[in-house]
Each structure stands twice: as structure tokens, then as C-alpha cells.
Structure 1
């Protein structure tokens, strides 16, 4: 059964409830072969996933090229493509160098990232992304990680995206970050359609519920949640597992293992609870799951569909793993 689709904010753009995150296709954490990347994309398509999120940052354009190699051969009206602005890819001037320091080990390229949240930079970034993708337009454009560039992002990048939306060059606009505070400002102070929140609304971290999610629900802004596994810990908690891309501290590992014990007692994989939990909030339209193999895509689709009894959520809440105000699947309604 294919994932459902939901409209993003007040736009005409829809995104599949389970969508594919493109960072692993750029080699985030570990290299991925061209063949495995193609199989990830083809398997996602076969399973009915029609939302795809990528960025120039992911493998210095490698994720965009790999996604585009498959998407450019598929009916353009049948998928939704999201990419990001804020980092231009420019020659390093020093020849190929390993990109491990930026989270993409084994990737050797003569390019480097250059922050640019100017209006001209936004237009250039989007045009260059489309060249790498081999597509004539992106459906969604997100301002990517403007944490240290907030004023320029609001004064220049956002108005540039608003103009691109008015021109019909993109259908929906927003921002994507690993923090909720600045995303809340985007929701309250601008006319974004969607924001992408990574890692801050999960079984281990529900801080996005303090500010962003209520604001988004009030404003009718859609939230896509990434990092539902918190970069690995909630996929397979074990010593050495990563949380926010670094080895998890002992206390977090113990919490994840305890949550896994609870889910197992109810016959539910931890990954299923991690994927489905964020979708209960009415502002959340989709979750992004990254994959570096066809098997991981199939697993994500299975976790999205896996039955979860209400008793599991009740036990997680009773033990304090879920905030009292965090909605859970089966309670109330969600975004349409």
C-alpha cells in the first residue's frame, strides 16, 4: 500500500506521508555506491514513495545527481522534489579533498561549500540544483541551516523564495533546520508553506512541541519531520550508536534501550514507533527516512505500516518517555 499524500500549508503541493531523505545518497556517514543509490531510488518508487528531499550540501551535489538520474526518467507530475538553498558549491582551488569533516567520509571532490543567503545566491543555488538533478523545476525550496545567518536569511533569502513562488518557479517554500526556535520565527513572521524539522521531534527529543508545532498548527503551516531515528540511535540502539551524528551518551543509550524493551513487549519494532510517532501531531504531514540500500527502504515502508497497539503509547507516556501533551497515533485527527 502506497503512503498517503498531504497538502503542504496553503500551497497546491502534496508530499507523501513517508518520504525519502537524500543525505545517505550523498554518502552521509559512509560511502554509498552508484548502484546502491539507484536501487534505493527505484525501490522507493516501487513502494509508492513520491516525496524526495535532497540538498547541495549532501555529498557536494552527489545526492542531487543520484536522485536526478532516476527521477528525470519518471513522469514529472507523479513525484514531489524538495531541495535547499543557502550553500553554493564552488571550486576549492586546492584539488580533490576528503569531505569527512563535513560528514561525508570517502568523498573526494574539488568543490567546497560557500554560505550564501543573498537573493542572487538563492536563485543561483536553485538553478545549479536543477542542472544537477536534470529537472526543469523543484516543487519545494527550503532555506537550509541558516542558524548563523538568520538576519540575511530573513532579509534576503526568504523574500527571494517568495518571489520565486510568485513566479511559479517553485510551488512551496520554507526552511529546514536541526533546531525549532528559528523555524518557529519563520512560521510566525513569514508566509512559509512548510518547514523541515530534523531530530527535534522524536521518541527521544520532543522539544519541537514546545514552540514550533503549536505555532505551525495555529498558522496552518506544514511540518516535515526528519531525523526520526536521531541519526541512528533509535534505529538500532547499541554501544557506539550515533545520536545527532556523534556517539550517543550513556544516558541516551539507556533511554533508547528501555524504549526498545517496551516496544518489543508489544511485538513492535522500535523503528516502527519512531517512524509513526511524529505523524500523530496535526501539523506534521510527513516523515523523512534516509536509506543507503534497497533493504532499508523496504524496512522504512514496513515500519510505516506496522500495527501499533494503543497500549504501547500509553506505556511510553506512563514511563515519561513521551510528554503528556504529545499526541500519539490513534488519538484525535491529523493533517489532511
Structure 2
């Protein structure tokens, strides 16, 4: 499999390797403008043609940086997704944003109203400096306080209208939890769901029902968080799992998986990146890339051949609890 391979998502297509641009919003640590631009350009040179961002990432910094880099390329040559659900309102506190190393010049306001969808998308296009995005996700609707009710009743129908008008090519929802994503598959005509962190070598909750449901309905799944925020990229004391310090048990499990993978001549990062593609509904895997080196490494890991025997051994050792792919 190569980064240049593509898969359909609604009315558009995505490259198998996607660029997860939360990093360009200074996720947890600063990224220079130069490194951000180099990461996008290197990913492009390696065949990446799907880029995902959101207003949430660095209070709009990710969208601004990504748009600036992508404007150098023909608009029809790549697929771009962003998200709605958080409106950015000016509110300079003089401090630093939580989670992103940027000045807290704005505050995020939950808004899954139909008008909020339109306003959010218009603001995203202004930050991106582009005339359109191709895919729009409802972002973290399960976290907004009402259980996602407004998102399902108001924001989702607004996305359907945008799709019917030809403003966007595909619509969906992106979350960290499996049950609400399954609800979107069952109750809406969403083209795609973005599932973060729940289809990895250490967490296969999405494998048991979400992936089979998507396959039955002919819907696409985009997967994020395959390294579980770091533990599956480099398992060592102090590594993080889902943005918290990994437990001793999780670290031990990751090290055992690494040993099995390396016994087959496969780097752990490659095994982690390839794992979601065992499921037919998976269209793309998003990887966060801060630098040119990280972008080149992600593409190289996707090029690694992973033998079936590796998965067989992991299962035999009790290191995979996955459903059949």
C-alpha cells in the first residue's frame, strides 16, 4: 500500500495516508511556520492528497497554516476536510490556550445550530484562504453537553443541505467514542465517520461493531490516533496513551507488540499504521506530522510490507482482541 493509493468517501476520494493537521495548531508544543510548511510539502511530495483540520486546532492556526501551504497546489488535486461545532469568538485573556501552544486570543463556543454550521464554515474558508472544503465533519458532538442532540437535529440536516447544494462533497461526524459514531451510521445518511483512537493495536473498540456496520452500509471510516498519542510510536517510560501517561501494563503490552513486529522485520510504527487497513470500510488513516522528517517517516511506514503472520502471532499471543477484518 502507498500513500498515493486512494479510496472513495462520498462524492470525493482520499489518499490512504492523510495529514492530520492538529499538529499545525501547535498541539501541546510550538511548531515553527517553517517546519509546518515543510511538513505539508514533504507529505505532498510523498503522495499525500488528503488533509484534515479544524477551527479547534490552535484556535484557527492549523487552518491558516494548512491553507497557506495548500494554496501552492491546484485545488482539484487534493481533498480537504474541516469541522464544525465550535465557533471561535474573540476573548483575549493574555494567557495561553489549553492543549495548544498559542495565545488565548479566542474562546471556543459550542454551536451545533444550522446557522452555526454556516458561520463556522465561512470562517474556516476565510482562515484557509480557499474557496471550498471537500468534507465537513461534526466535531466532538458527544462532548458539547447535550449528548449530541442539537448536532443530530440541527447541524446534521444543515450539512445535508450543503451536500445537496454541491457546496461540499461529503459529510460526517468525527469523535473519540464509538457509540455516537454508530448512531450516525444507523440514523443518518452520513458519508463518513472519523474515529480517533479506537482502532489501534492497543484499543480495538471500533472493530467490534462500528467497522462491520460501516461496511454493511457502504460508508467510509477515516481513522485517527493510530499511535494513541505516542505510546505506539515509541513505547518507553513516560510515553503517553490518549494524552495521559501510559500505565505500566499498557507500556508492557506495547513493548510486547513491538517485539513481535520487529521479529517479522516490521517497525512498530508500520504495524500501527497498517492495522486499520485490515478493515474494508477504512478509507484513510490520519497521522499528525510536525516536521518534514515525520511526514517522510509516515509515508515510509506505509510502504513497509506487513506479513499476515505478524497479525497471526499477535492474536496467538493474546495481544489482539480484534474482530475479524
* Structure 2: segments with no counterpart, 5+ residues: none
- Is this contact kept in 2: 1:85–1:144, CA < 8 A? yes
**In the alignment, which residue of structure 2 is the partner of 1:319?**
317
CA spacing shift, 1:285–1:64, aligned 2, 3 Å: same
Output one character per residue of 1:253-304: Cα deviation in whole Å (capped at 9) or x when no partner: 1100110111111111000000001011011111000011100000000101
SS of the aligned residue for 1:30 comes to: coil
Q: Give the C-alpha shift of residue 2 in structure 1.
A: 4.5
CA drift at 1:85: 0.2
1:325, distance to aligned residue in structure 2 (A) = 2.3
Alignment map for 1:24-103 (pairs within 5 Å)? 24-92=23-91, 94-99=92-97, 101=98, 103=99
Task: Measure how far apart 1:324 and its partner are.
Answer: 5.3
Q: Secondary structure at the match of 1:165?
A: helix
2:170 to 169, 172, 185: 172
Aligned residues: CA RMSD: 1.1
2:187 corresponds in structure 1 to: 189
CA distances 1:105-131 after superposition (whole Å, capped 9, x unpaired): x31131111111110000000010000
Kindly indicate whether residue 133 of structure 2 is the aligned counterpart of residue 132 of structure 1.
no
Instruction: Show the counterpart of 2:140.
Output: 145
Q: Which shows bigger deviation, 287-296 or 313-322?
A: 313-322
1:64, 1:224 → 2: CA distance?
Answer: 19
Normalising by structure 1, report the TM-score. Answer: 0.94
Deviations 1:20-79 (A, max 9, x none): 001111011211010100000111111110000000000000000000001122100000
Secondary structure in 1 aligned to 2:40?
helix
Q: Which consecutive residues of structure 1, in runs of 5 or more, have no partner in the other structure?
A: 328-336
Higher RCO, 1 or 2 (CA under 8 Å, sep at least 6)?
2
Distance in 2 between residues matched to 1:96 and 1:221, nearest whole Å: 44
Aligned length: 321
Write out aligned runs for 1:209-224 (5 A).
Answer: 209-224=207-222
State the alpha-carbon separation in 1 of the partners of residues 153 and 125 from structure 2: 24
1-structure distance, mates of 2:35, 2:219: 35
CA shift in 2, pair 1:29/1:95, >3 Å: closer
Q: Is the 8 A contact 1:61 1:132 kept in 2?
A: yes
- Kept in 1, the 8 Å contact 2:238–2:245? The answer is yes
**For residues 207 and 193 of structure 1, what CA distance do their matches in structure 2 show?**
21
Give the alignment of 1:186-335 within 5 angstroms: 186-323=184-321, 325-327=323-325
Normalised to the residue count of structure 2, the TM-score between the two structures is 0.97
Q: 1:119 aligns with which of 109, 114, 139?
A: 114
Inter-partner Cα distance in structure 1 for 2:120 and 2:209? 30
Distance in 2, matches of 1:245 and 1:260, equals 20
SS in 1 for 2:44: helix
Give the SS at the match of 1:109.
coil
Q: 1:97 is paired with a residue of what secondary structure?
A: coil
Please give the alpha-carbon distance, in whole angstroms, between the structure 2 residues aligned to 1:319 and 1:161: 45
Tell whether the 8 Å contact from 1:96 to 1:111 is kept in structure 2 after alignment.
no
